[in-house]
Amino acid sequence: MENKEKLGGMLGLAAKAGKVVVGSQVVLETLAKRKVKLLLLAEDASERTKEIFQKEGKEKNIPVQECLTSEEIGRRIGKSKKAIIGISDENFAKAIYKILSGGEAIG
């Protein structure tokens, strides 16, 4: 799937640039500081995790997208399995959102 490869490449670039926030607690803390521009949930994340971050995204007006599996997300950012990551850079967030939505950019 072409979009999956584009998404993976963009996640890798964002991670190398230090623009990825990893782990539930760190993502929640960074959300509280309003420094997350996009939330990415793994397709296989627990229902509880999905509920928590969907609610947080809605409250803070931050897009939340489900994509890839936790294993795929982790591999793309050079970590172990990750169910939730935050993108802290507006340009990376827009590019990733555009890939996931088939061409529509946020903002």
Question: What are 9-46's pLDDT values in tens digits?
Answer: 999 999 999 999 998 999 999 999 999 999 999 999 99
Q: Is 107 a member of any domain? A: no
pTM here is: 0.91
Please give the torsion angle defined by the CA atoms of residues 103, 49, 56 and 29, in that order, rounded to the nearest 10 degrees: -110
Q: Which two tokens stand for residue 10?
A: 């963009």
78 lies in some domain: yes
Q: Is the pLDDT at 107 greater than 80, yes or no?
A: no
- Domain count across the chain: 1
On whether residue 17 sits in a domain, the answer given is: yes
- Given strand 64-66, what is the order of strands in its sheet? 20-22, 84-87, 38-41, 64-66
Angle at 7 between CA 62 and CA 23, to 5 degrees: 55
Q: With 80 as the cut, is the pLDDT of residue 103 above it?
A: no
pLDDT at 101: 84
Q: Tell me: the pLDDT tens digits for 62-84?
A: 999 999 999 999 999 999 999 99
In the block, residue with structure tokens 């169910």: 83
CATH assignment at residue 90 = 3.30.1330.30
Question: Does any domain span residue 96?
Answer: yes
- Domain encompassing residue 66: 2-100
Identify whether 54 is part of a domain. yes
